[in-house]
Amino acid sequence: MKTVTAGVLEVAYLETGPADGPTVILLHGFPYDVHCYDDVAALLAARGVRCIVPWLRGYGPTRFLSADTMRSGQQAALGVDLLAFMDALNVPTACLAGYDWGGRAACIVAALWPERVRGLVSCGQGYNIQNIPAAAHPAPAVEEARYWYQYYFHTDRGRAALTDNREDLFRHIWTLWSPDWRFDDATWSATAPSFDNPDFVDVVVHSYRHRFGVVAGDPAYDGVEAQLAAQPKITVPTVVLQGASDGVDPPTQTDRARPQFTGPYDRRVLGGVGHNPPQEAPEACAEAVLAVMEM
Q: pLDDT tens digits for 76-110? A: 999 999 999 999 999 999 999 999 999 999 999 99
What's the whole-number mean pLDDT along residues 40-44? 98
| Region 206-219 average pLDDT | 97
Tell me if 76 sits within 8 A of 221, measured CB to CB: yes
Distance CA 184, CA 187 (A): 5
The pLDDT, as a whole number, for residue 188 is: 98
pLDDT in tens, 124-177: 999 999 999 999 999 999 999 999 999 999 999 999 999 999 999 999 999 999
Q: Are 30 and 101 in contact (CB under 8 A)?
A: yes
CATH number, domain 2-294: 3.40.50.1820
Per-residue pLDDT, 266: 98
pLDDT value, residue 167: 98
Within its chain, how far is the Cα of 294 from the centroid? 23
Domain ranges (residues) in the chain? 2-294
pTM of the model: 0.98
Q: pLDDT band for position 49 (50/70/90)?
A: very high
Cα 86 to Cα 67, 137, 160, distances in angstroms: 23, 35, 35
pLDDT recorded at residue 217: 98
What gap in Å lies between CA 113 and CA 142, rounded to an integer? Answer: 35
**Could you give the CA distance from residue 147 to residue 166 in angstroms, rounded to a whole number?**
17
Average pLDDT rounded to a whole number, residues 183-204: 98
How much of the chain exceeds pLDDT 70, in percent? 100
Give the lowest-confidence range in 128-132, 136-140, 198-202, 227-231.
136-140
**What whole-number distance in Å separates Cα of residue 155 and Cα of residue 5?**
33
Residue 54 makes CB contacts below 8 A (sequence gap 6+) with 11, 12, 13, 25, 27, 34, 62, 85
pLDDT in the model for residue 76: 98
Q: How confident is the model at residue 240 (pLDDT cuts 50, 70, 90)?
A: very high
Q: What is the pLDDT of residue 109?
A: 98
| Contact partners, residue 276, CB within 8 Å, separation at least 6 | 29, 32, 36, 99, 174, 177, 178, 181, 243
Longest dimension (CA), the chain: 49
The reported pLDDT for the residue numbered 277 is: 98
Give residue 102's pLDDT: 98
Instruction: In whole angstroms, give the CA distance from residue 253 to residue 248.
Output: 16
Average pLDDT, the chain: 98
CA dihedral angle for residue 249, residue 272, residue 55, residue 199, rounded to 10 degrees:
50
